[in-house]
Every structure is written in C-alpha cells, then in structure tokens.
C-alpha cells in the first residue's frame, strides 16, 4: 500500500492513494488551518468506523441478514499530552433491518473487533475499546 500527502500552503494538504483517489486535509484555526477539510485524526477515526463497518456488513450479508440501514459511530477520548493518542473508543453499531437475528449481529461485531478489523487491532494497543449494538426493526 502506498500513500502520499502534498502540501498546498498554510496548513492545507491533499492526500493521495495508490488508486489515484484524493482527499483534502486541513486543521483547526487554532493550529493555523481553515477548517475546510478533514483533520488527520478525524480521518483516522473515520477509517476505524469504515473498517469495522465493512466487516460487519460483509458478515451479515453472508449470514443472509436483511439489513436496510447501518451506521457506526465512534466517541473517542485522546491523551492530554503529546502524541495525544486515542485512549478510549466507544463504538456504537446501529443496525436496521427486517427480522434480524440479534445473535448474528452480535457475532458479526465480535468477529470484526476480535479477528478481522486491522484498525481495531492497532488501536487496542493504546485505547480501551467498548461497544453498544442497537438493533432496529425496519418498518414496512
């Protein structure tokens, strides 16, 4: 995997992936940025949510669960001092669907968090990770 970041002036950067995709990045006004783009640690948090979300959806699809809506939210605490690593992460999984099997949903989250998600595997070295799973029956 390859990535690069190109400086655009001030505290503005553009990140590029090996597939040619790009994403603008910035920082807070207090740090000299304009707050017009994602901050690096925000991208890290979004990457964490997407990593586990992709695992869970893949597993639920294989278990033939009829998911109609899904989201993962993260509440994150960081260390006071530098390097200000993530110290506590609470992931909230909201799964909406028809006739969902709660055990299948719980198992999909467990498999993501303990076996498949490399983001969680890396972050659990510095952060206490917890979760909440909310299952919502879809309306017809």
> What would the pLDDT profile of 18-62 be if each residue is shown by its tens digit?
999 999 999 999 999 999 999 999 999 999 999 999 999 999 999
Co-location of 45 and 96 in the same domain:
yes
Cis status, amide bond into 84, omega within 30 of 0: no
Residue 131 pairs in a beta bridge with: 91
Residues 57 and 26 in one domain: no
Which CATH number fits the domain that encloses residue 129?
A: 3.30.300.20
Residue range of the domain that includes 27: 1-38
Tell me phi and psi for residue 35, to 5 degrees. 60, 30
Distance CA 69, CA 98 (A): 10
Same domain, 6 and 72: no
- Residue 140 — pLDDT band, cuts 50, 70, 90? confident
pLDDT in tens, 72-110: 999 999 999 999 999 999 999 999 999 999 999 999 999
- Total domain count, the chain: 2
Q: What is the chain's mean pLDDT, rounded?
A: 96
Q: State the DSSP H helix or E strand holding residue 72, giving kind and residue range, or none if neither.
A: strand 66-78
Q: Are residues 34 and 50 in the same domain?
A: no
What pLDDT score was predicted for residue 108?
98
Closest CA to 53 of 133, 123, 122, 128: 133
Same domain for 32 and 87, yes or no, is no
């Amino acid at each position: 995997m390859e990535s690069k970041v190109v400086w655009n002036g001030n505290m503005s950067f553009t990140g590029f992936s090996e597939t040619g995709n790009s994403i603008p990045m910035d920082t807070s006004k207090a740090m000299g940025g304009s707050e017009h783009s994602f901050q690096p640690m925000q991208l890290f948090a979004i990457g964490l949510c997407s990593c586990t979300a992709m695992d869970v959806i893949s597993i639920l699809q294989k278990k033939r669960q009829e998911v109609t809506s899904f989201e993962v939210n993260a509440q994150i605490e960081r260390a006071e001092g530098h390097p200000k690593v993530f110290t506590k992460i609470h992931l909230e999984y909201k799964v909406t669907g028809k006739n969902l099997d709660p055990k299948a949903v719980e198992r999909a989250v467990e498999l993501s968090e303990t076996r498949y998600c490399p983001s969680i595997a890396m972050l659990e070295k510095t952060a206490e990770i917890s979760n909440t799973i909310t299952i919502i029956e879809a309306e017809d």
